[in-house]
Amino acid sequence: MKKLFTVLLAFAISQAAFSQQEVWYSMFFSNKVLLNPAYTGSRDALNITGFYRNQWTGFDGAPVSQSLTVHTPFLKQKMGLGLSLEHDKIGINNSMSLQLSYAYRLQLGFGRLAMGVHGKIERDNMNWSNSNPYTSIDQSIPYSDNSLFLPNLGAGLYFDNDFMYLGISTPHLVENTIDYSNSGGEVSSGAKQNRHYYLMAGGLIALSESLLLKPALMARYVDNSPVELDFNLSFLIREMLWLGVSARTGNTYSAIAQVHLKNEWVVGYAYDFTFTKLNNFQNGTHEIMFSIDFGKKIKGFDNPRYF
């Protein structure tokens, strides 16, 4: 029974890692390039954005994620090019990925429409040696660590103007099979990278000269799973401080604060909490981010980009 429990635990963690093939960031509205390549270059400046997310702190083997994205427009804002690095760790699973994204933008009379694609290579590593079996020799657990290299493609559309944005995308067009049959154990996962579909939308409403309201929505669909939703409502106070709250499918809520400095620097923090029984085993989720725009001065004045 102990041997069976260890095997089931290892694969429960690994399946959780595969189901989290794209990290669900609380400040999703500040991190669109990872999920939609059509957003590449839409900041109208060279942009560097970094994220760190520590989920379910205090829970052994809980997910920890980091990402770093660099993207910029070129050819008179008609195209965008970007590079993204991601690292995710959950339980005994550890993955790193490199993503190159490209977007072509069309200027319409009422906004901009962008079409984007990205290529991605992911190194997925299962650290079986860290599974901590109850017995020192357990034939059901592979005796060596195993790594897989998983190439993939993604595509998306993104429309924006000064008052709203709307995007659709699928980051994983190729449904790679996750095969650890060469690890030397008796078990096989049978997992795969499922194709995800994303819808992102948001708007900007001026309540007064010093107060703006920005609602945002992210929806995710995977075959044979319910639609997941994340809705955020934020207020921009005096062009400097964003304060907001989010509600997510699964009884998860977030409190978010971002500070904007000189229309170039953004530093943000989000705290996730839930009212489920999971609260008895963890201390919440912490997420921090930074974003820098270079070269936002256009013809002598600042050009703010709220999306």
| Domains of the chain, first to last | 2-302 (2.40.160.40)
Residues with Cβ within 8 Å of 295's Cβ and at least 6 positions away in sequence, in order, are 45, 46
Residue 170 binned pLDDT confidence (cut-offs 50, 70, 90) = very high
Q: Which two tokens stand for residue 117?
A: 């694609």
Residue 30 — φ and ψ, nearest 5°? -110, 10
Residues paired with residue 198 on neighbouring β-strands, in sequence order:
169, 220
Question: What pLDDT does 1 receive?
Answer: 38
pLDDT of residue 182: 60
Task: Flag whether pLDDT at 162 surpasses 60.
Answer: yes
Write the secondary structure of 113-149 as one string of H (helix), E (strand) and C (coil). EEEEEEEEEEEEEECHHHCCCCCCCCCCCCCCCEEEE
- Tell if the pTM clears 0.75, that is, is over it: yes
Mean of all residue pLDDT scores within the chain: 85
- Summarised one tens digit per residue, pLDDT across range 6-44 is 433 444 444 444 445 578 899 999 989 999 999 999 999
**Tens-place pLDDT, residues 205-243:** 999 999 999 999 999 999 888 999 999 999 999 989 999
The string of DSSP letters for 27-86 reads TGGG--TTT-GGGTTTTSSEEEEEEEEE-STTSTT--EEEEEEEEEEETTTTEEEEEEEE
DSSP one-letter code for 284: -
* Residue percentage of the chain with pLDDT more than 90: 60
| Residue 240: other Cβ atoms inside 10 A | 13
Q: To 10 degrees, the CA torsion angle through 247, 71, 110, 262?
A: 80
